[in-house]
Amino acid sequence: MESSNLFSLFTLAFGLGLLHALDADHVMAISGLMNTGNNARNGIRFCLRWAIGHGITLLTIGCCVLVMGMTIPHQLSHYAEYAVGGLLIVIGVWLCWALSKTVSLHNTASQSRGNTANPHDAIAATVDTPRQPSSHAMLVGILHGIAGSAPLLLLISLANIGSALSGLVYILLFSIGVLCAMLLFGGLLTRAYRWLAHWGTPLVLLTRLLIAIGAIVLGINILLFSH
């Protein structure tokens, strides 16, 4: 393939990675699990670990297929999609449970403080749901990587890249695009929570509840209509 065509293809890979990171199942899973508190770095680190897990998985599967000539079972991506759907439901239910405890604790604290409003307290009361180990973000990224591997490999095949090395570069640039978009998303989500907190705790709680409901609905949709 000519160098100009390869450059265009690699640029497309990066752009598709940027868009892929913002798929609904990715956004819902990250939004539900991410615990940012008052520190934007926590959210960015969480998204970084997710993107690393996602990228390593895609590169590993790409090496197996493009370099080693292995055949990945067609059902693998299909089962991973079902797992993603189930995971979203679990995240949504867990978040609803965590929020119910948060509301109870916040009401008790508000009564003891005489209902003194503080934006930082609002952030802590709503975003600081039970902390997730750093490995959770990477495991979720791995699962999303498996679910998205089949469509990505199909794109590479349709593009007729030709060499295994070019195919791996395509996957690498795709993963870098995913990483960049996720880091930006993590930072913006943290800022969004801080902004909402200035309008009061109920608004942030409502936002978290909508995320939980959205995760459950999306998970059910994936389980029912995934092919």
Average pLDDT over residues 184-204: 83
Q: Are 43 and 36 in contact (CB under 8 A)?
A: yes
Q: Which residues of 8-43 are buried (b: 16+ CB within 10 A; e: fewer)?
A: ebbebbbebbbebbeeebbbbbbbbbbebbeebebb
Q: Are 57 and 153 in contact (CB under 8 A)?
A: no
Give the CA-trace dihedral at 210, 213, 217, 219, to 10 degrees: 110
> What tokens were used for 190?
């943290």
| pLDDT of amino acid 164 | 83
H or E segment to which residue 176 belongs: helix 164-197
> How crowded is the C-beta side of 11, counted as CA atoms within 13 Å?
6
Helix, strand, coil fractions of the chain, as percent rounded to 5: 85, 0, 15
The total of other beta-carbon atoms located within 10 Å of residue 188's CB is 12
Average pLDDT over residues 157-177: 84
Evaluate if pTM is beyond 0.95: no
d(C-alpha 215, C-alpha 30), whole Å: 10
Average pLDDT, the chain: 81
Q: 154 falls in which pLDDT band (50, 70, 90)?
A: confident
Q: Are 112 and 189 in contact (CB under 8 A)?
A: no
Check residues 14 and 121 and name the one with the higher pLDDT. Answer: 14
The total of other beta-carbon atoms located within 10 Å of residue 75's CB is 9
Helix (H, G, I), strand (E, B) or coil at 170: helix
Maximum pairwise Cα distance, the chain: 71
In the predicted structure, residue 218 carries a pLDDT above the cut 80: yes
Region label for 200, one of left (φ > 0), alpha (ψ between -120 and 50) or beta (otherwise): left
What is the per-residue pLDDT across 8-67, written as a single tens digit (0 to 9) for each? Answer: 888 999 999 999 999 999 999 998 888 655 566 778 888 999 999 999 999 999 898 888
| pLDDT of amino acid 134 | 58
Q: What's 37-93 look like in SS3?
A: CCCHHHHHHHHHHHHHHHHHHHHHHHHHHHHCCCCCCHHHHHHHHHHHHHHHHHHHH
Average pLDDT over residues 127-142: 70
